[in-house]
């Protein structure tokens, strides 16, 4: 069965979508079967890989139960379920429906045995869409930029995750923190990294993803960073992150915020 991982942060612009794409493509490069699911109404991951953001079949219709998850092949061993801008109103549409927290889990179950990893790119919020992702996952990756607000927001994330774990999904047990957009010469970045490692110990990936223009350029060309420039720092960093993921036999348990 697939290891299902949600990439989350309630703050936008931290490299969450870039990380989903980079980790997905990196795991695929390491011979793993990977499914990417875009549950962000902005559909940035969908557009990253050149799929239309408002295709006839998307995660939106699948969550409404109209059809199974529509899977598109990006390359051999790397598939994707696209998003749709109509997702922006989905949470209101299902606000009175029973079991609304587990619609995504039910949609994933028929496909789970086909993949080694399923990565879910969540919207920058803590509403029903990310809760659906958490309800379907065994692990989370919290993607953070080394800013003054990175540590302040961790409490809200961990509180939401722990509520889902205790009330909905007992299998949600693994947690890693990924630092992105890192510039080693910035004192603030060094300080934030040190604080995160001090507070969260082994929950923080050893690898940090450095600021790298190839990551931005890959998005503009509609391909993953390995296809765009396999020798770039972005490709090297995400491949190292993927190696850590594969080698991690027992993910660090989800803890309360420090």
Each residue's pLDDT expressed in tens, for the chain with a length of 258 residues: 899 999 999 888 889 999 999 999 999 999 999 999 999 999 999 999 989 888 889 999 999 999 999 999 999 999 999 999 999 998 888 877 888 899 999 999 999 999 999 999 999 988 889 999 999 999 999 999 998 777 777 888 888 899 999 999 999 999 999 999 999 999 999 999 999 999 998 899 999 999 999 999 998 888 999 999 999 999 999 999 999 999 986 666 665 544
What is the reported pLDDT for 253?
67
**Beta strand pairing status for 139-144 and 34-38?**
unpaired
Q: Find the largest Cα–Cα distance for the chain.
A: 51
How does DSSP classify residue 127?
S
What is the reported pLDDT for 220?
87
User: Is residue 169 assigned to a domain?
Assistant: yes
Domain total in the chain: 1
- Rounded CA gap, 60 and 80, in Å? 14
User: Is residue 216 assigned to a domain?
Assistant: yes
Look up the pTM and report it. Answer: 0.94
Nearest of 141, 152, 218 to residue 180 by alpha carbon? 141
E strand residue ranges, 153-230: 174-179
User: Is residue 22 assigned to a domain?
Assistant: yes
User: Is residue 182 assigned to a domain?
Assistant: yes
User: Is residue 226 assigned to a domain?
Assistant: yes
What is the reported pLDDT for 254?
65
What is the reported pLDDT for 10?
85
What is the reported pLDDT for 249?
66
SS3 at position 49: coil
Q: Enter the tokens of residue 171.
A: 């299998």
Tokens 């875009």 correspond to what residue? Answer: 38
Give φ, ψ of 122 to 5 degrees: -90, 155
Q: Enter the tokens of residue 177.
A: 């923190």
Q: Enter the tokens of residue 219.
A: 């998005």
User: Is residue 255 assigned to a domain?
Assistant: no
User: Is residue 254 assigned to a domain?
Assistant: no
54: domain range? 3-247
Q: What CATH number should be reported for the domain holding residue 14?
A: 3.40.50.300
User: Is residue 157 assigned to a domain?
Assistant: yes
- Rounded CA gap, 119 and 121, in Å? 7
- Rounded CA gap, 27 and 18, in Å? 14
């Amino acid at each position: 069965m697939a290891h299902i991982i949600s990439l989350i942060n309630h703050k936008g612009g931290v490299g969450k979508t870039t990380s989903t794409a980079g980790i997905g493509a990196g795991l695929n490069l390491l011979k793993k079967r990977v499914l990417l699911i875009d549950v962000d109404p902005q559909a940035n991951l969908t557009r990253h890989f050149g799929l239309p953001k408002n295709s006839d079949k998307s995660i939106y219709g699948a969550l409404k139960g109209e059809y199974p998850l529509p899977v598109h092949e990006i390359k051999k061993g790397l598939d994707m379920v696209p998003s749709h801008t109509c997702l922006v109103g989905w949470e209101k549409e299902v606000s009175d429906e029973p079991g609304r927290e587990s619609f995504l889990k039910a949609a994933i179950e028929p496909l789970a045995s086909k993949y080694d990893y399923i990565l879910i790119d969540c919207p920058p919020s803590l509403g029903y869409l990310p809760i659906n992702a958490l309800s379907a996952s065994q692990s989370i990756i919290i993607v953070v930029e080394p800013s003054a607000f990175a540590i302040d927001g961790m409490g809200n994330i961990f509180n939401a995750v722990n509520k889902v774990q205790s009330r909905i999904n007992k299998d949600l047990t693994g947690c890693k923190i990924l630092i992105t957009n890192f510039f080693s010469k910035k004192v603030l970045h060094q300080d934030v990294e040190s604080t995160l490692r001090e507070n969260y110990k082994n929950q923080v990936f050893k690898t940090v993803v450095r600021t790298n223009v190839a990551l931005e350029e890959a998005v503009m060309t509609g391909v993953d960073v390995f296809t765009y420039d396999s020798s770039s720092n972005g490709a090297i960093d995400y491949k190292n992150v993927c190696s850590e993921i594969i080698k991690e036999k027992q993910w660090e348990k989800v803890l309360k915020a420090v």
